[in-house]
Amino acid sequence: MAAMARAKLAEFDQLKNPIKSQVIELPIADKCAAWNHFIHQAADVADYYICLDADVVLVQPTGLEELLQTLITHPECRICGGKVLNKRGEITNHHFIDGKCYAIRGEIARNIYIPNGVIADDVYVAATALTNWYETTPEVGETKGYTRLTEKPVVRSGDTPRDRDKSYWIACRKRTIMAEYAQRRLDYCMRSIFGGGDLAKTMVLKLATTHPNWFLAYLHQVSRSDFAPQFNPPHLKPPISIYQVAQFLVYCYCYLLSVLGIRNQEFGHLAWKLKHRYW
């Protein structure tokens, strides 16, 4: 992955005004670890940070500027998500922050540390900012304007060779189901054990240095007896088509993979694991 990034970035060296870039290799290919390393070690202290997936394509030249301008214009806004287009040109995130493209206020980002074991980095970051470190409900955060979306689409994704690979698509679906399982248990820890708000913020930042695997250890403990994620299959609406049935069956298959993944304690970056499990 690092070699590919260097090869792609080398193309920009030919520009009249070369783009300053840095490729950092981490021991584990984990998006949460990468986010923590970027915010807390690699990046300079800044008012705002923009986070993008490597495979997105900008659809307008001023898209990233709109992200930052939203944060500047609305000081109450903590994180602004860019609207994302799929390969058919449809917006995929009308009502939520998509980790493929967002800007976050620097003072907020520096007070967030993603615990080891979390599967979806974007969900954790957005939920933490929206609920004030799990002190309030998402609805309260939305009322206060903690999160916003851009008016226009900023990036396009979903049209790479990897996206057309069935194994990758199944792994993504499995990861999404497992991510919801982990996030619900993290919500419990932050609210019921740490108390939410400033206390939860302080506890997580302290544990990042004293016991970085605290949440992973908790997941290992609870998953021994509670290994069933929520079952939320796509609705079958009449007239039921073959496509709908296929979607339902694929979801059920991915759900079974998720149950097996939880029982095998495949949290964090291991949630991508498939091991050719086709039964």
Query: Residue 134: which residues within 8 A CB-CB, separation 6 or more?
Result: 127, 128, 187, 190, 191, 194, 196, 197, 200
Q: Which three-class secondary structure state does DSSP give residue 227?
A: coil
Q: What is the largest CA-CA distance in the chain?
A: 60
- Distance (Å, whole) CA 100 – CA 79: 13
With the C-alpha atoms ordered 28, 33, 35, 41, is the resulting torsion angle positive or negative?
negative
> Residue 128: its pLDDT value, please?
98
Parse the chain into domains and list their residue ranges. 2-162, 165-272
Provide the whole-model pTM. 0.91
pLDDT in tens, the chain (279 residues): 677 778 877 877 777 777 788 888 998 889 999 999 999 999 999 999 999 998 899 998 999 999 999 999 999 999 999 999 998 999 999 999 999 999 999 999 999 999 999 999 999 999 999 999 999 999 999 999 999 999 999 999 988 888 888 888 899 999 999 999 999 999 999 999 999 999 999 999 999 999 999 999 999 999 999 999 999 999 988 999 999 999 999 999 999 999 999 999 999 999 988 765 544
Going by C-alpha positions, the residue among 111, 128, 143, 97 that lies closest to residue 196 is 128
Q: Class assignment of domain 2-162?
A: alpha beta
